[in-house]
Amino acid sequence: MTSKHLIALDLDGTLLTDDKKISSRSKQAIAQAKAEGHLVAISTGRPVRASIQYYRELGLNTPMVNFNGAFVHHPDVSAFGSYHTPLDLKTAKAVIETCEAFQVSNIMVEVIDDFYLRYKDELFVEAFTAGRNPIDYGNLLTLLKDSPTSVLIHPQENQSDSLRNLLQESHAEVIEQRVWGAPWSIIEIIRAGVNKAVGLKRIADYYGIPKDRIIAFGDEDNDLEMLEYAGAGVAMGNAIPSLKTTANFVTGTNEEDGIADYLEEALNLAVK
């Protein structure tokens, strides 16, 4: 058997097809990798509530990276620990004040798996809450009492660049910014120094897996550090150009079973 590898899977645009499903071929390849002794972990920008169903569908028993590394935990094994790296509350409120000055379309503040919304918006709720209701709506500067895991900003059209530039000038040393692509233009703010690679390293250290036996798949800028950290950083065929340049390998798209293609060949899987 090939030496035990740790396989890190981003969700949107990577493991998931465009209709947010796991293809049967991807599922089969992942199941075979697990059967042959490899470890498979989800590493996503999503909160737990919006990723746990895929974790269960794949039958995983590994820690999970959520919020791009701001929350790392094992859904079923408390002995792994729970690692939460939130934004400083004062910094979060300063970011929210800037957004209020810009009169952005909406702001969502996450505190692990609880969340608050600036405005009630049914489309936004449907897209981002995974069937859960916010703790509250309204003035986030008043509602927010705890240091948040992340702040999601939905800017108005053509606002994103100017808002991102101002946030960078004002808070560059204490925040990380990520951008979500279509169909939503979202700016995500998390604590500086937090990324998927930090979470993945924690999992690799827990299992004693060296970097050269880590395979990581991704498609967006929030996957950059993870692909750089992994011994084999694999960009999807639909990945942004900068990620393809950084990656060690480029595979097929999320609609073409790119994950299965790579795993079957790299791990010499005995796929039936």
> 197: Cβ–Cβ under 8 A, 6 or more apart, which residues?
69, 225, 226, 228, 229
Round to whole Å and give the CA distance between 244 and 251. Answer: 10
Q: What pLDDT is recorded for position 171?
A: 84
**What is the SS3 assignment for 131?**
coil
Neighbours of 173 (CB within 10 A): 8
Handedness of CA 254, 260, 266, 267 (dihedral sign): positive
Q: Which residue has the higher pLDDT, 173 or 54?
A: 54
Number of residues that make up the chain:
272
Task: Measure Cα distances from 168 to 173, 176, 189, 196, 203 in Å.
Answer: 8, 9, 11, 20, 30
Instruction: Quickly count helices (H) and strands (E) in the chain.
Output: 10, 14
Closest CA to 86 of 109, 118, 119: 109
pLDDT at 208 over 80: yes
132-154: average pLDDT: 92
What is the mean pLDDT of the segment spanning 125-132? Answer: 71
| Active-site pick, 10, 12, 219, 223 | 10
Q: Residue 40's pLDDT is what? A: 98
Percent of the chain predicted with pLDDT > 90: 77
Burial 13-39 (b: 16+ CB within 10 A, else e): bbbbeeeeebbeebbbbbebbbeeebb
The pLDDT of residue 272:
62
Who has greater pLDDT, 131 or 164?
164
Check whether 125 has a pLDDT greater than 90.
no
Residue 110, pLDDT above cutoff 80: yes
Judged against a pLDDT cut of 90, whether residue 167 lies above it is answered with no
Mean pLDDT of 239-256: 96
Active site residue 10: yes
| Pairwise pLDDT comparison (234 vs 184), residue with the higher score | 234
Q: What was the pLDDT predicted at 156?
A: 87
pLDDT in tens, 47-69: 999 999 999 999 999 999 999 99
How many of the other CB atoms lie within 10 Å of CB of 64?
23
Q: What is the mean pLDDT of residues 197-203?
A: 97
The reported pLDDT for the residue numbered 2 is: 74
Alpha carbon of 64 to those of 75, 246, 256: distances in Å? 7, 24, 25
Which pLDDT band holds residue 117 (cuts at 50, 70, 90)?
very high
> Is the pLDDT at 1 greater than 60, yes or no?
no
What pLDDT digit, counting tens, does each position of 11-46 carry?
999 999 999 999 999 999 999 999 999 999 999 999
Q: Band of the pLDDT at 161, cuts 50, 70, 90?
A: confident
Whole-number mean pLDDT of the chain?
92
